[in-house]
């Protein structure tokens, strides 16, 4: 499945390079939703909430009410996760809190099948707090112990996020070998060939910069999404 991404900062749709430098702004959130209407699911990340500089709550609620959205960014408590679900989110993405006791509380509050754990990697190590803080472990080392608390994983190759230099397919192969849970790849995915290789691994592709710059054509991607039903889904979903 191809999953277009909407990243929010300061009320605007943006694309960042490695989660730091703003490279461009997209159209209004509602307009991006219209452009992505052909796709079965949208990924929405509140970057302000992720780095602790505020949040884009009203926009999240609007998007969640109009499309099937997986929403993340600053989801560090069961209360926030529950609120997002109540506002219409289909699933909730948990990053920093996945490495705290809050993960079990979030899974209990909304159901593990609605939880997607973000395992974002930079220089080989998992990064948290909006990718601004590195941990001492790799995604492969922790994925097994996180499986009981989620229905899937969002794995971002931060080293190439927003650079359109391709992604690390070998890393996704290792992750795929580590779990039967649903996997979504992000970070540097630039070509249809990469998307097809991920599909062959039974890994979804979350796309950002390549769409916003026109490197990948939305109409072409909408046709490609027909391979979505072949994708692996967690038996609990």
The answer to whether residue 120 is catalytic is: yes
Q: What is the pLDDT of residue 51?
A: 86
- Residue 115: pLDDT band (50, 70, 90) is very high
Which residues, in sequence order, are CB contacts of 155 under 8 Å at separation 6+? 118, 119, 120, 121, 139, 171, 172, 175, 183, 184, 185, 186
pTM over 0.85: yes
Q: What is the pLDDT of residue 163?
A: 73
| Model confidence at 165: pLDDT above 90 | no
Active-site position among 46, 48, 120, 199: 120
SS3 content of the chain, % helix, strand, coil (to 5): 40, 25, 35
The answer to whether residue 48 is catalytic is: no
Compute the distance between CA of residue 127 and CA of residue 225 in angstroms, rounded to an integer: 30
Compute the distance between CA of residue 44 and CA of residue 139 in angstroms, rounded to an integer: 22
Percent of the chain's residues with pLDDT above 70: 94
| Model confidence at 237: pLDDT above 50 | no
- Residue 22: pLDDT band (50, 70, 90) is confident
CATH hierarchy code of domain 2-229: 3.20.20.70
Compute the distance between CA of residue 196 and CA of residue 113 in angstroms, rounded to an integer: 26
Q: What is the pLDDT of residue 16?
A: 85
Most distant pair of Cα atoms in the chain: their distance: 43
Helix (H) or strand (E) holding 173: helix 169-178
What mean pLDDT, rounded, does the chain reach? 91
What tokens appear for 67 in the block?
């499309």
Contact 31, 112 (CB under 8 A): no
């Amino acid at each position: 499945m191809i999953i277009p991404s909407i990243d929010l900062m300061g009320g605007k749709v943006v694309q960042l390079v490695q989660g730091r430098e703003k490279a461009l702004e997209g159209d209004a959130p509602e307009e991006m939703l219209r452009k992505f209407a052909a796709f079965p699911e949208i990924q929405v990340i509140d970057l302000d909430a992720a780095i602790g500089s505020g949040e884009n709550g009203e926009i999240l609620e609007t998007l969640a009410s109009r499309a099937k959205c997986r929403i993340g960014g600053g989801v560090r408590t069961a209360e926030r996760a529950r609120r997002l679900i109540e506002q219409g989110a289909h699933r909730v993405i948990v990053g920093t809190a996945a490495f705290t006791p809050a993960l079990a509380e979030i899974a209990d509050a909304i159901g593990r099948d609605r939880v997607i754990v973000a395992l974002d990697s930079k220089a080989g190590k998992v990064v948290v707090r909006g990718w601004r803080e590195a941990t001492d472990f790799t995604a492969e080392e922790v994925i097994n112990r996180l499986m009981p608390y989620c229905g899937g994983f969002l794995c971002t190759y931060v080293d190439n996020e927003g650079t359109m230099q391709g992604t690390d397919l070998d890393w996704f192969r290792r992750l795929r070998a580590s779990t039967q849970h649903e996997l979504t790849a992000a970070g540097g995915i630039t070509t249809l060939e990469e998307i097809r290789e991920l599909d062959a691994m039974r890994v979804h592709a979350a796309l950002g910069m390549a769409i916003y710059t026109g490197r990948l054509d939305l109409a072409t991607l909408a046709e490609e999404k027909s391979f979505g039903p072949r994708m692996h889904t967690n038996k609990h979903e």
